[in-house]
Homo-oligomer: A and B are copies of this chain.
Amino acid sequence: MINQTEKKIFSVNEIDGGFELLFGNLKLMKHTKTSPVVFIGKGEENIEMYRGNFKIEDYLIERIALRYTKIESVNDNKVTIAFSNHSNTEAAIILTIKQDRERLKIEFNNVSDDVNRLWIRINSYQNEKVYGCGEQLSYFNLRGKHFPLWTSEPGVGRNKNTYTTWQADVKDKAGGDYYNTNYPQPTYISSDKYFCHVETTAYADFDFSHEDFHELQVWNIPQFILFDKAETFIDLVKKISDLFGRQPELPDWTYNGIWLGIQGGTSVVEEKLSRALDKGIKVGGVWCQDWQGIRNTSFGKRLMWDWKWNPEIYPELDTKIWDWKKQGIRFLGYINPYVAVDGDLYKTASQKGYLAKNHKGEDYLVDFGEFDCGVVDFTNPEACKWYRQVIKENLIDFGLDGWMADFGEYLPTDVELASAESAKLMHNAWPVLWAKINDEAVREAGRSGDIVYFMRAGYTGTQNYCPLLWAGDQSVNWSLDDGLASVIPAALSSGMCGNGLHHSDIGGYTSLHGNKRTKELFMRWAEMGAFTPVMRTHEGNRPYDCFQFDDDDESLEHLARMTNIYVKLKPYIKTLVKANADEGIPVQRPLFMHYENDEKAYNIQYEYLFGRDLLVAPVYKSSVTEWEVYLPNDQWIHIWTGKEYMGGDVKVNAPIGCPAVFYRKNSPYADLFQMISKI
């Protein structure tokens, strides 16, 4: 026993031919010659991007098990272990294990430059569950599969067994798979109440398919690996958000109502808004992506990507925006980190050298689907400053109180950056650089706390710079991997990683390959949205193929009711959002977060606790009027009927307008919840 005194948080115990690493009682590693925990190697990757979809292949030249260990030096808070692949050869890598605050930190040294692959095995056991890895849309419990961690388009279909996916693959290389996500993060959370974070921006692949270990693969030598643990999941998410950052509270105007996604120009916005208000829909904002102009492509309507008010489509917006604000309705827009070649911003950026370059030193153009864009080079401080200025002048000063800060996943790996950093290593970092630009622009404008932007792309650090996630582009259908259901694990997994505020496009977005949004899908999605931090509709990529909120009176009335529920819940939601801001406890939580002893709760990914006191089981299938729900052991009141349940598998009526929602009988908000049923 090398390093174990009472004050030590970890110990490295020598065993026959190896060692065990314990973090408190948690056995993180057990290394022997026959089951080594560290492998190094070399690979030659081939990365091809097509419109944000990546084909990544690795020719693995070497992978060497480092079977021989020597515990080299022991300080008070530090153990150094030298690993080699022969008993008589030099160390191929040295791990320094040390205490860092209350965390356990592993650093890597002495690695040959020739090594560009590292695999670390962390101890596991058969019944362990694993969560996190950023925003995961197909699986909340990640056990049994491996998860490549590379920010990209999430895929259309995301399941090789669906016809949508196949068509998307064949036509656009865009089908994706269960692991594709805009927001990956090399951080997992174990059901054993610890988290493990790998500090790297390199391509990584976390493999949770083995019975005895998790194997974390990284395509460089990470800066470090960090572990922390807690007695409860609530404490654990606090620690996670302590590390990665927390989101501020949402502006109070958020709770005024839904953000209506409208496009088409000033008059369309006025008409639709007025109709919505007439029908009693509570509106917090209008969200107009096309405030800066549109272009038509085969994918559907696309935006102009030149990030300034388009007075042709939006006449008088410069005054209307302030009128609406007086009515309590904010105007939200859209921007992303690319500039279209046919725009003025591109010209400026190109002239000033603010764009990333190709190998010939020319501006690198990225294909975004029938139009090309320059990539604003966020490794160039001048370019960052300029883009912050664009946001401040063209968006904030113009009157926008929020926007979708879209994209961030498209940094090509063969681009030349001003900082001379490898684009392969900066690719995953890009979404966070993009978030930071937004964050700093808002701060510089002195508007923190009143402006809110929302992002789909992310990576480690997103927690610090992005105040609100949205789940990206779902297909407008009922598929588990890419439809309504998929946003639930997305909220839960990103929430576990410290992003406590999440929402999705009500109705979904992607209408391709025969998928058309139905009224039923829209209404089911809206009723789920009422039980999330933010309600926002999207017209879809092909609005004419998608049912719209104002397509008939029934859906307008349904939306009115749902927005009234949402607004009524404001006092409750605000406490949740505050708890997230203060302590990093996500607003949407997995059942096990409050029911740790409930084994079944650990595998539930299509229900969530909306705070401590509401259990939400959205109806994610078509043509049903009943819904089966699992309730942890507690006193639950079905919100629409007032019927009490004591836990277990229950079936409730769940016609449209009545998603399966329950509140805890003992909740301090029980009266509020009871009122909901009367709306």
A contacts with B: majority SS: mixed
Q: Which of B60, B65, B86 contacts A89 (CB 8 A)?
A: B86
Contact B65 A65 (CB under 8 A): no
Q: Please measure, in the bound complex, the distance between the C-alpha atom of A160 and the C-alpha atom of B59, giving whole angstroms.
A: 22
Interface membership of A85, Cβ < 8 A: yes
This protein's copies in its complex: 2
Interface membership of A1, Cβ < 8 A: no
Residues on B with C-beta less than 8 A from A64 are 62-64, 85
Q: Please measure, in the bound complex, the distance between the C-alpha atom of A161 and the C-alpha atom of B169, giving whole angstroms.
A: 8
State how many angstroms separate the Cβ of A667 from the closest Cβ of chain B: 46
Interface membership of A331, Cβ < 8 A: no
Interface membership of A170, Cβ < 8 A: yes
Interface membership of A166, Cβ < 8 A: yes
Residues on B with C-beta less than 8 A from A85 are 64, 85-86
- Bitwise, A36-71 to B at CB < 8 A (1) or not (0) is 000101000000000000000001111111000000
- Bitwise, A291-316 to B at CB < 8 A (1) or not (0) is 00000000000000000000000000
- Bitwise, A165-201 to B at CB < 8 A (1) or not (0) is 0100110000000000000000000000000000000
Interface positions of A from 63 to 84, Cβ below 8 Å from B: 63-65
Residues on B with C-beta less than 8 A from A60 are 60, 63
Q: In this complex, what residue of B is CB-closest to A88? A: B88
State how many angstroms separate the Cβ of A162 from the closest Cβ of chain B: 8
Residues on B with C-beta less than 8 A from A88 are 88-89
Q: In this complex, what residue of B is CB-closest to A170? A: B161
Residues on B with C-beta less than 8 A from A160 are 169
State how many angstroms separate the Cβ of A459 from the closest Cβ of chain B: 27
Residues on B with C-beta less than 8 A from A61 are 39, 63, 65
Residues on B with C-beta less than 8 A from A62 are 39, 63-65
Q: Please measure, in the bound complex, the distance between the C-alpha atom of A460 and the C-alpha atom of B204, giving whole angstroms.
A: 40
Known contacts A161-B170, A166-B166, A170-B161: does B89 contact A63 (CB below 8 Å)? no
State how many angstroms separate the Cβ of A118 from the closest Cβ of chain B: 14
Residues on B with C-beta less than 8 A from A161 are 169-170
Q: Please measure, in the bound complex, the distance between the C-alpha atom of A331 and the C-alpha atom of B210, giving whole angstroms.
A: 55
Q: Please measure, in the bound complex, the distance between the C-alpha atom of A59 and the C-alpha atom of B207, giving whole angstroms.
A: 11
Residues on B with C-beta less than 8 A from A86 are 85-86, 89
Interface positions of A from 425 to 453, Cβ below 8 Å from B: none
- Bitwise, A550-593 to B at CB < 8 A (1) or not (0) is 00000000000000000000000000000000000000000000
Q: Please measure, in the bound complex, the distance between the C-alpha atom of A41 and the C-alpha atom of B59, giving whole angstroms.
A: 15
Q: Please measure, in the bound complex, the distance between the C-alpha atom of A161 and the C-alpha atom of B166, giving whole angstroms.
A: 8
Q: In this complex, what residue of B is CB-closest to A42? A: B65
- Bitwise, A3-17 to B at CB < 8 A (1) or not (0) is 000000000000000
Q: Please measure, in the bound complex, the distance between the C-alpha atom of A367 and the C-alpha atom of B61, giving whole angstroms.
A: 39
Residues on B with C-beta less than 8 A from A210 are 59
Q: In this complex, what residue of B is CB-closest to A163? A: B166
Interface positions of A from 128 to 175, Cβ below 8 Å from B: 160-161, 163, 166, 169-170
Residues on B with C-beta less than 8 A from A170 are 161
Interface positions of A from 337 to 355, Cβ below 8 Å from B: none
Q: In this complex, what residue of B is CB-closest to A84? A: B86
Of A63, A86, A163, most buried by chain B (CB within 10 Å of CB) is A63
Interface positions of A from 89 to 128, Cβ below 8 Å from B: 89
Q: Please measure, in the bound complex, the distance between the C-alpha atom of A170 and the C-alpha atom of B160, giving whole angstroms.
A: 8
Question: What are 20 inter-chain pairs, A to B, with CB distance below 8 A?
Answer: A39-B61, A39-B62, A59-B210, A60-B63, A61-B63, A61-B65, A62-B63, A62-B64, A62-B65, A63-B63, A63-B64, A64-B64, A64-B85, A86-B86, A86-B89, A88-B88, A160-B169, A161-B170, A163-B166, A166-B166
The 5 A-B pairs with the shortest beta carbon distances in the complex, nearest first, are A166-B166, A63-B63, A62-B65, A161-B170, A86-B89
